[in-house]
Structure 1
Amino acid sequence: MEFNGQGFKLRPWRMDDAKALQKHADNPNVSACLLNRFPYPYSIVDAEEFLEHITTKTPVTTFAIEVNGEAIGGIGLEIRQDVYRYSPLIGYWLSEQHWGKGITAEAVKLLTDYAFTKLEAICVQAFVFSENPRSMRVLEKAGYIKQGIIQQSVIKRGFVMDEHVYTAYPPEK
Protein backbone atom coordinates (compact mmCIF):
# COMPACT_ATOMS: atom_id res chain seq x y z
CA MET A 1 0.00 0.00 0.00
CA GLU A 2 1.41 3.36 -1.06
CA PHE A 3 0.16 6.93 -1.24
CA ASN A 4 1.68 9.37 -3.70
CA GLY A 5 2.20 13.02 -2.86
CA GLN A 6 3.92 15.89 -4.63
CA GLY A 7 7.55 14.75 -4.81
CA PHE A 8 7.22 12.05 -2.15
CA LYS A 9 5.33 8.91 -1.30
CA LEU A 10 4.12 7.16 1.83
CA ARG A 11 4.89 3.47 1.92
CA PRO A 12 5.29 0.76 4.55
CA TRP A 13 8.61 0.68 6.37
CA ARG A 14 11.09 -2.00 5.31
CA MET A 15 14.01 -3.55 7.17
CA ASP A 16 16.41 -2.09 4.60
CA ASP A 17 15.36 1.43 5.71
CA ALA A 18 17.49 1.14 8.88
CA LYS A 19 20.47 3.15 7.62
CA ALA A 20 18.36 6.02 6.22
CA LEU A 21 16.13 6.01 9.30
CA GLN A 22 19.11 6.32 11.62
CA LYS A 23 20.68 9.05 9.49
CA HIS A 24 17.59 11.27 9.36
CA ALA A 25 16.26 10.57 12.87
CA ASP A 26 19.56 11.22 14.64
CA ASN A 27 19.01 14.95 14.98
CA PRO A 28 18.19 16.80 18.22
CA ASN A 29 15.96 19.22 16.28
CA VAL A 30 13.87 16.32 14.97
CA SER A 31 13.41 14.64 18.35
CA ALA A 32 12.95 17.87 20.36
CA CYS A 33 9.16 17.85 20.18
CA LEU A 34 8.48 14.12 19.91
CA LEU A 35 7.64 11.65 22.63
CA ASN A 36 10.59 10.19 24.53
CA ARG A 37 10.02 6.83 22.83
CA PHE A 38 11.71 8.52 19.84
CA PRO A 39 15.26 8.58 21.22
CA TYR A 40 18.13 10.96 20.75
CA PRO A 41 20.77 10.09 19.89
CA TYR A 42 19.11 7.70 17.43
CA SER A 43 21.33 4.69 16.89
CA ILE A 44 21.29 2.02 14.21
CA VAL A 45 20.10 -0.38 16.93
CA ASP A 46 17.15 1.96 17.63
CA ALA A 47 16.34 1.94 13.92
CA GLU A 48 16.55 -1.84 13.63
CA GLU A 49 14.41 -2.41 16.74
CA PHE A 50 11.75 0.01 15.50
CA LEU A 51 11.68 -1.63 12.08
CA GLU A 52 11.50 -5.14 13.54
CA HIS A 53 8.46 -4.05 15.54
CA ILE A 54 6.65 -1.95 12.95
CA THR A 55 7.09 -4.14 9.86
CA THR A 56 5.04 -6.95 11.43
CA LYS A 57 1.96 -4.92 12.37
CA THR A 58 -1.32 -5.23 10.50
CA PRO A 59 -3.14 -3.30 9.32
CA VAL A 60 -0.34 -0.98 8.21
CA THR A 61 -0.76 2.30 10.06
CA THR A 62 2.84 3.56 10.14
CA PHE A 63 4.55 4.66 6.94
CA ALA A 64 7.92 5.87 5.75
CA ILE A 65 7.96 9.21 3.95
CA GLU A 66 10.13 8.53 0.92
CA VAL A 67 11.84 11.05 -1.36
CA ASN A 68 14.01 9.89 -4.26
CA GLY A 69 13.99 6.30 -3.02
CA GLU A 70 15.11 7.15 0.54
CA ALA A 71 13.07 7.12 3.76
CA ILE A 72 13.42 10.68 5.11
CA GLY A 73 10.69 10.67 7.75
CA GLY A 74 7.78 8.83 9.19
CA ILE A 75 4.07 9.22 9.81
CA GLY A 76 1.65 6.98 11.58
CA LEU A 77 -1.63 6.42 13.31
CA GLU A 78 -1.75 5.06 16.83
CA ILE A 79 -4.90 2.99 17.05
CA ARG A 80 -6.24 3.28 20.57
CA GLN A 81 -8.49 0.98 22.58
CA ASP A 82 -11.85 1.05 24.31
CA VAL A 83 -13.93 4.20 23.74
CA TYR A 84 -11.08 5.70 21.69
CA ARG A 85 -10.91 2.82 19.18
CA TYR A 86 -12.20 4.98 16.29
CA SER A 87 -10.19 8.07 17.26
CA PRO A 88 -6.56 7.38 16.35
CA LEU A 89 -3.70 9.70 17.15
CA ILE A 90 -1.52 10.90 14.29
CA GLY A 91 2.19 11.54 14.68
CA TYR A 92 4.95 12.41 12.24
CA TRP A 93 8.51 13.56 11.83
CA LEU A 94 10.62 14.66 8.89
CA SER A 95 14.34 15.03 8.23
CA GLU A 96 15.33 18.63 8.96
CA GLN A 97 16.74 19.07 5.45
CA HIS A 98 13.20 18.66 4.07
CA TRP A 99 11.40 21.07 6.42
CA GLY A 100 9.42 23.89 4.84
CA LYS A 101 8.62 22.10 1.58
CA GLY A 102 4.99 21.22 2.33
CA ILE A 103 5.69 17.49 2.49
CA THR A 104 4.41 16.94 6.01
CA ALA A 105 1.10 18.78 5.58
CA GLU A 106 0.32 16.78 2.46
CA ALA A 107 1.39 13.54 4.15
CA VAL A 108 -0.94 14.34 7.08
CA LYS A 109 -3.81 14.88 4.63
CA LEU A 110 -3.11 11.56 2.89
CA LEU A 111 -2.93 9.55 6.10
CA THR A 112 -5.95 11.27 7.61
CA ASP A 113 -8.00 10.39 4.52
CA TYR A 114 -6.80 6.78 4.87
CA ALA A 115 -7.99 6.77 8.50
CA PHE A 116 -11.46 7.89 7.45
CA THR A 117 -11.87 5.73 4.35
CA LYS A 118 -10.17 2.47 5.42
CA LEU A 119 -10.04 2.46 9.21
CA GLU A 120 -13.52 3.84 9.93
CA ALA A 121 -12.15 6.67 12.11
CA ILE A 122 -14.69 9.15 13.45
CA CYS A 123 -11.92 11.68 14.07
CA VAL A 124 -8.13 11.83 14.06
CA GLN A 125 -6.35 13.66 16.86
CA ALA A 126 -2.92 15.18 17.31
CA PHE A 127 -1.21 16.53 20.41
CA VAL A 128 1.49 19.15 19.84
CA PHE A 129 3.93 20.60 22.35
CA SER A 130 3.68 24.38 22.79
CA GLU A 131 7.30 24.71 21.62
CA ASN A 132 6.41 23.36 18.18
CA PRO A 133 4.46 26.02 16.24
CA ARG A 134 5.66 24.54 12.92
CA SER A 135 3.78 21.33 13.66
CA MET A 136 0.68 23.33 14.60
CA ARG A 137 0.88 25.04 11.21
CA VAL A 138 1.25 21.65 9.47
CA LEU A 139 -1.97 20.45 11.09
CA GLU A 140 -3.83 23.66 10.27
CA LYS A 141 -2.73 23.42 6.62
CA ALA A 142 -3.99 19.82 6.63
CA GLY A 143 -7.44 20.95 7.81
CA TYR A 144 -7.16 20.13 11.51
CA ILE A 145 -8.98 22.30 14.05
CA LYS A 146 -7.42 23.39 17.32
CA GLN A 147 -9.63 22.11 20.13
CA GLY A 148 -7.78 23.56 23.08
CA ILE A 149 -4.67 23.64 25.22
CA ILE A 150 -3.83 21.36 28.11
CA GLN A 151 -1.61 23.54 30.25
CA GLN A 152 1.65 22.30 31.79
CA SER A 153 0.90 18.70 30.84
CA VAL A 154 4.22 17.48 29.40
CA ILE A 155 7.88 17.61 30.31
CA LYS A 156 10.57 17.16 27.69
CA ARG A 157 14.29 17.59 28.28
CA GLY A 158 13.57 19.26 31.61
CA PHE A 159 11.09 21.82 30.25
CA VAL A 160 7.40 21.85 31.20
CA MET A 161 5.20 22.66 28.23
CA ASP A 162 1.58 22.96 27.28
CA GLU A 163 0.03 20.53 24.84
CA HIS A 164 -2.19 21.76 22.00
CA VAL A 165 -4.98 19.44 20.91
CA TYR A 166 -5.96 19.27 17.21
CA THR A 167 -8.68 17.20 15.55
CA ALA A 168 -9.73 16.38 11.99
CA TYR A 169 -13.19 15.10 11.12
CA PRO A 170 -14.36 13.16 8.09
CA PRO A 171 -15.59 15.26 5.20
CA GLU A 172 -19.35 15.66 5.11
CA LYS A 173 -21.01 13.42 2.58
Structure 2
Amino acid sequence: MEIKLQRSTLTEWRESYANSLAKHANNPKIAQFLRDSFPNPYTKEDANAWIQFNQTKTKPIINLAIVVEGTCVGAIGLLPKTDIHRCNIEMGYWIGEAYWGQGIVTEAVNYMIKYTFEQFDVARIYAGAFEGNIGSQSVLKKAGFTLESTIPKGIIKNGVLLDEHIYSIIK
Protein backbone atom coordinates (compact mmCIF):
# COMPACT_ATOMS: atom_id res chain seq x y z
CA MET A 1 0.00 0.00 0.00
CA GLU A 2 1.37 3.40 -0.98
CA ILE A 3 -0.80 6.51 -0.90
CA LYS A 4 0.64 9.74 -2.26
CA LEU A 5 -0.88 12.78 -0.58
CA GLN A 6 -0.01 16.44 -1.17
CA ARG A 7 2.32 16.76 1.82
CA SER A 8 3.44 13.16 2.39
CA THR A 9 3.19 9.55 1.33
CA LEU A 10 1.64 6.84 3.49
CA THR A 11 3.45 3.53 2.98
CA GLU A 12 3.94 0.12 4.48
CA TRP A 13 6.98 -0.18 6.73
CA ARG A 14 10.41 -0.81 5.19
CA GLU A 15 13.74 -1.70 6.78
CA SER A 16 15.23 1.42 5.20
CA TYR A 17 13.06 3.57 7.51
CA ALA A 18 14.75 2.36 10.72
CA ASN A 19 17.24 5.22 11.11
CA SER A 20 14.78 8.03 10.39
CA LEU A 21 12.09 6.35 12.51
CA ALA A 22 14.45 6.15 15.47
CA LYS A 23 15.59 9.75 14.92
CA HIS A 24 12.08 11.24 14.87
CA ALA A 25 10.50 8.93 17.47
CA ASN A 26 13.27 9.45 20.02
CA ASN A 27 11.73 12.58 21.51
CA PRO A 28 10.14 12.86 24.96
CA LYS A 29 7.80 15.55 23.59
CA ILE A 30 6.27 12.84 21.40
CA ALA A 31 6.39 9.98 23.91
CA GLN A 32 4.62 12.06 26.59
CA PHE A 33 1.41 11.92 24.53
CA LEU A 34 1.57 8.25 23.52
CA ARG A 35 0.87 4.99 25.32
CA ASP A 36 3.59 3.49 27.49
CA SER A 37 4.14 0.78 24.87
CA PHE A 38 5.84 3.50 22.76
CA PRO A 39 9.50 3.28 23.84
CA ASN A 40 11.24 6.27 25.37
CA PRO A 41 14.09 6.57 24.61
CA TYR A 42 13.41 5.17 21.14
CA THR A 43 16.40 3.29 19.72
CA LYS A 44 17.23 1.85 16.32
CA GLU A 45 16.51 -1.57 17.84
CA ASP A 46 13.01 -0.35 18.76
CA ALA A 47 12.57 0.92 15.20
CA ASN A 48 13.67 -2.42 13.74
CA ALA A 49 11.30 -4.30 16.06
CA TRP A 50 8.38 -2.05 15.04
CA ILE A 51 9.14 -2.48 11.35
CA GLN A 52 9.46 -6.26 11.76
CA PHE A 53 6.15 -6.42 13.65
CA ASN A 54 4.38 -4.51 10.90
CA GLN A 55 5.88 -6.64 8.15
CA THR A 56 4.69 -9.87 9.79
CA LYS A 57 1.40 -8.86 11.42
CA THR A 58 -1.89 -10.03 10.06
CA LYS A 59 -4.78 -7.80 9.15
CA PRO A 60 -6.95 -6.06 10.25
CA ILE A 61 -4.39 -3.86 12.04
CA ILE A 62 -3.12 -1.17 9.68
CA ASN A 63 0.01 0.79 10.56
CA LEU A 64 1.56 3.03 7.94
CA ALA A 65 4.69 5.13 7.82
CA ILE A 66 4.29 8.84 7.12
CA VAL A 67 7.05 9.65 4.63
CA VAL A 68 8.16 13.13 3.55
CA GLU A 69 10.71 13.42 0.72
CA GLY A 70 11.75 9.79 1.20
CA THR A 71 12.21 10.08 4.97
CA CYS A 72 9.99 8.38 7.53
CA VAL A 73 8.82 11.12 9.90
CA GLY A 74 5.86 9.55 11.69
CA ALA A 75 3.14 6.94 11.72
CA ILE A 76 -0.61 6.54 11.47
CA GLY A 77 -2.61 3.45 12.28
CA LEU A 78 -6.03 1.88 12.60
CA LEU A 79 -7.08 -0.73 15.14
CA PRO A 80 -10.47 -2.32 14.47
CA LYS A 81 -12.32 -3.26 17.63
CA THR A 82 -13.95 -6.63 18.24
CA ASP A 83 -17.02 -8.27 19.74
CA ILE A 84 -19.74 -5.75 20.62
CA HIS A 85 -17.38 -2.89 19.70
CA ARG A 86 -16.75 -4.20 16.16
CA CYS A 87 -18.60 -1.18 14.70
CA ASN A 88 -15.67 0.99 15.88
CA ILE A 89 -12.11 1.55 14.78
CA GLU A 90 -9.45 3.39 16.77
CA MET A 91 -7.04 5.73 15.01
CA GLY A 92 -3.65 6.78 16.31
CA TYR A 93 -0.78 8.82 14.91
CA TRP A 94 2.36 10.79 15.69
CA ILE A 95 4.81 12.89 13.69
CA GLY A 96 8.33 14.16 14.34
CA GLU A 97 8.59 17.53 16.03
CA ALA A 98 10.27 19.16 13.01
CA TYR A 99 7.04 18.48 11.07
CA TRP A 100 4.52 19.79 13.59
CA GLY A 101 2.08 22.44 12.36
CA GLN A 102 2.54 21.71 8.64
CA GLY A 103 -0.81 20.00 8.02
CA ILE A 104 0.83 16.64 7.31
CA VAL A 105 -1.05 14.70 9.98
CA THR A 106 -4.36 16.45 9.28
CA GLU A 107 -4.07 15.43 5.63
CA ALA A 108 -3.18 11.84 6.61
CA VAL A 109 -6.09 11.65 9.07
CA ASN A 110 -8.51 12.93 6.42
CA TYR A 111 -7.32 10.26 4.00
CA MET A 112 -7.60 7.52 6.64
CA ILE A 113 -11.18 8.58 7.48
CA LYS A 114 -12.19 8.12 3.84
CA TYR A 115 -10.26 4.85 3.58
CA THR A 116 -11.75 3.46 6.79
CA PHE A 117 -15.36 4.15 5.89
CA GLU A 118 -14.82 2.68 2.39
CA GLN A 119 -12.90 -0.44 3.45
CA PHE A 120 -14.34 -1.39 6.85
CA ASP A 121 -17.86 -2.09 8.00
CA VAL A 122 -17.70 0.41 10.85
CA ALA A 123 -19.94 3.26 11.95
CA ARG A 124 -17.45 5.20 14.07
CA ILE A 125 -13.78 6.14 14.13
CA TYR A 126 -12.40 7.43 17.39
CA ALA A 127 -9.13 8.73 18.78
CA GLY A 128 -7.97 9.66 22.24
CA ALA A 129 -5.94 12.76 23.02
CA PHE A 130 -4.14 13.19 26.32
CA GLU A 131 -4.77 16.26 28.43
CA GLY A 132 -2.42 18.97 27.18
CA ASN A 133 -2.02 17.57 23.67
CA ILE A 134 -3.48 20.62 21.96
CA GLY A 135 -1.89 19.76 18.61
CA SER A 136 -3.62 16.39 18.36
CA GLN A 137 -6.94 17.85 19.45
CA SER A 138 -6.58 20.49 16.73
CA VAL A 139 -5.84 17.83 14.08
CA LEU A 140 -8.95 15.88 15.05
CA LYS A 141 -11.19 18.95 15.01
CA LYS A 142 -9.87 20.05 11.59
CA ALA A 143 -10.59 16.55 10.27
CA GLY A 144 -14.22 16.74 11.39
CA PHE A 145 -14.03 14.78 14.64
CA THR A 146 -16.10 16.04 17.55
CA LEU A 147 -15.31 15.86 21.23
CA GLU A 148 -17.41 12.97 22.45
CA SER A 149 -16.30 12.80 26.06
CA THR A 150 -13.58 13.60 28.53
CA ILE A 151 -12.58 10.85 30.91
CA PRO A 152 -11.38 12.62 34.07
CA LYS A 153 -8.07 11.21 35.32
CA GLY A 154 -8.61 8.31 32.92
CA ILE A 155 -4.95 7.69 32.13
CA ILE A 156 -1.64 7.73 33.94
CA LYS A 157 1.50 8.87 32.17
CA ASN A 158 4.86 9.31 33.84
CA GLY A 159 3.20 8.92 37.23
CA VAL A 160 0.66 11.70 36.61
CA LEU A 161 -3.10 11.17 36.30
CA LEU A 162 -4.44 12.94 33.22
CA ASP A 163 -7.77 13.45 31.52
CA GLU A 164 -8.30 11.71 28.20
CA HIS A 165 -10.33 13.45 25.52
CA ILE A 166 -12.19 11.08 23.19
CA TYR A 167 -12.97 12.42 19.72
CA SER A 168 -15.03 10.60 17.13
CA ILE A 169 -16.44 10.87 13.66
CA ILE A 170 -19.55 8.96 12.60
CA LYS A 171 -20.13 7.53 9.12
Runs of 4 or more off by more than 3 Å in structure 1?
Answer: none
Shift of 1:120: 2.0
Unaligned runs of 5+ in 2: none
Give the SS at the match of 1:149.
strand
RMSD: 1.2
Q: Indicate whether 1:103 and 2:104 are aligned.
A: yes
Q: Structure 1, residues 26-52: CA drift from partner, whole Å, max 9, x if none?
A: 011111100011111001111111111
Count of aligned positions:
170
Give, as a single letter, the amino acid of the residue that structure 1 aligns with 2:154: S
Q: Is the 8 A contact 2:2 2:11 kept in 1?
A: yes
Any idea what SS the aligned residue of 2:111 has?
helix
Matched to 1:83, the amino acid is: I
Measured against aligned partners, the alpha-carbon deviations of 1:15-70 in whole angstroms (never above 9, x if no partner) come to 22111111110011111100011111001111111111111234361100000011
Verify: 1:39 aligned to 2:39, yes or no.
Answer: yes
How far did residue 14 of structure 1 move? 1.3
Amino-acid identity (%): 37
Distance 1:71 1:82 in 2: 34
Residue of structure 2 in register with 1:93 after alignment: 94
Residues 56-102 of structure 1, C-alpha deviations (whole Å, 9 max, x = no match): 23436110000001110000001222112231110000000000001
Q: Deviation string for 1:126-170 (max 9, x for gaps)?
A: 011111111101000011011010001111012110000100122
- Tell me, yes or no, if the aligned pair for 2:90 and 2:127 is still in contact at 8 Å: yes
Partner of 2:17: 17
Residue 65 of structure 1 is matched in structure 2 by 66
Work out whether residues 15 and 55 of structure 1, in 8 Å CA contact, stay in contact via their aligned partners in 2. Answer: no
- Structure 1: tracts of 5 or more residues without a match: none
Residue 161 (1) aligns with residue 158 (2): no
Superposed, which structure 2 residues align to 1:113-128 within 5 Å?
113-128=114-129
